[in-house]
């Protein structure tokens, strides 16, 4: 069965312990970890807490920025990613999410070559530790500084160039779900999917990322989930909610609405 999870970005102001207890209390089986929260708690205590709450780590976010767009050099970004691989292995995380980084004044060809060089090196280390890497496309309307890889087509091209068995894709419905072509592309994408993230929005991303409660936007979440399941996706499904539309709401109400929406609309996807 597909593990249902919440990403810690959805409850950003809470402490790690609050996240874990609240998710577990609502019947979620998984948690998507945000590295700054993990650093604050410490990995040893995190492992203990996850065992106490019976939560699986569906993802660890994030590594990348290999193009230097976040101010780090290539070598520093790779070393940081290698450290995260070791943490992901200790946490038994189902995948480590990778963001390419912005173009940072590079021509696209050079940015892509830099990313592929980093992924090729990192994939070898990740395979030794038994960690899956997942490249996430970020919509150009809200994430050019985070990633020059903005759609599923270019993500598949990167995967083909690197050609590593443990490198795959994060499909986030907020970033790619408003593309009319996405349903037609899923047969090509699902074989490479390690993680599905659910996010909704009232309009195409523009400026800051602004997700709304599931079902209150224009992303065809139900159709997308059912289609990836029909195509055999057995990986985790993780909800990520962040932005001005949900900011005024209490985290308790956001989690309760999310649980109710999934139970009523997703159907065959249940936490086991």
Q: Could you report the per-residue pLDDT of 147-202, keeping only the tens digit for each?
A: 999 999 999 999 999 999 999 999 999 999 999 999 999 999 999 999 999 999 99
Whether the pLDDT of residue 268 is over 80: the answer is no
Over 50: is that where the pLDDT of 122 sits?
A: yes
Q: Would the pLDDT of 267 be above 70?
A: no
How many alpha carbons lie under 13 Å from residue 109 in its C-beta half-sphere?
A: 0
The pLDDT tens digits of the residues spanning 67-118 come to: 987 888 999 999 999 999 999 999 999 999 999 998 877 788 889 999 999 9
pTM: 0.95
- How far apart, in Å, do the first and last CA atoms of the chain sit? 6
Average pLDDT, integer, range 136-154: 92
The residue that leads in pLDDT, 270 or 190, is 190
Distances (CA, A) of 214 to 113, 209, 259, 265: 36, 15, 10, 10
Q: Name the 3-class secondary structure at 212.
A: strand
CATH of domain 4-265: 3.20.20.150
Residues 53, 29 contacting (CB under 8 angstroms): no
Which residue carries 């050079």 as its tokens? 110
% the chain with pLDDT above 70: 98
DSSP state of 147: B
Q: Tell me the CB-side half-sphere exposure of residue 35, using CA atoms within 13 A.
A: 16
63, containing H or E segment: strand 56-64
Q: Tens digits of per-residue pLDDT, 59-69?
A: 999 999 999 87
Taking each helix axis from N to C end, the angle separating 43-53 and 16-25, rounded to the nearest 10 degrees, works out to 20
Domain ranges of the chain: 4-265
H or E segment to which residue 96 belongs: strand 96-99
| 66/77 Cα distance (integer angstroms) | 6
Could you tell me the CA-to-CA distances from 34 to 41, 117, 150, 200, 248 in Å, in that order? 11, 25, 21, 20, 21
The H-or-E segment that residue 46 falls in is: helix 43-53
Confidence of residue 207 (pLDDT cuts 50, 70, 90): confident
Residue 271 has pLDDT above 50, yes or no: no
Helix (H, G, I), strand (E, B) or coil at 97: strand
CA 120 vs CA 86, 114, 150, 165: distances in Å = 17, 10, 20, 11
* Cα distance between residue 215 and residue 257, in whole Å: 10
Give the angle 56-81-90 at the CA atoms, nearest 5°: 35
């Amino acid at each position: 069965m597909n593990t249902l999870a919440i990403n810690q970005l959805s409850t950003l102001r809470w402490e790690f312990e609050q996240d874990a207890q609240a998710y577990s209390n609502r019947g979620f089986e998984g948690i998507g970890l945000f590295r700054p929260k993990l650093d604050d708690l410490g990995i040893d205590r995190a492992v203990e807490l996850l065992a106490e709450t019976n939560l699986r780590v569906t993802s660890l976010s994030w590594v990348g920025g290999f193009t230097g767009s976040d101010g780090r050099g290539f070598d520093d970004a790779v070393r940081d990613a290698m450290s995260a691989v070791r943490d992901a292995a200790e946490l038994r995380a189902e995948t480590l999410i990778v963001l390419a980084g912005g173009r940072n004044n590079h021509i696209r060809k050079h940015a892509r070559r830099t990313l592929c060089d980093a992924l090729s090196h990192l994939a070898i280390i990740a395979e030794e530790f038994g960690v899956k890497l997942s490249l996430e496309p970020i919509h150009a309307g809200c994430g050019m500084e985070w990633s020059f890889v903005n759609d599923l087509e270019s993500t598949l091209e990167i995967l083909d160039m690197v050609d590593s068995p443990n490198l795959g894709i994060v499909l986030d419905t907020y970033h790619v779900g408003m593309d009319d072509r996405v349903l037609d592309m899923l047969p090509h994408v699902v074989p490479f999917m390690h993680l599905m993230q659910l996010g909704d929005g009232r309009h195409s991303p523009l400026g800051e990322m602004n997700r709304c409660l599931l079902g209150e936007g224009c992303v065809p979440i139900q159709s997308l989930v059912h289609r990836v399941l029909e195509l055999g996706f057995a990986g985790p499904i993780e909800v990520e909610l962040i932005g001005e539309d949900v900011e005024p709401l209490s985290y308790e109400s956001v989690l309760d609405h999310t649980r109710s929406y999934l139970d009523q609309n997703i159907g065959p996807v249940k936490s086991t």
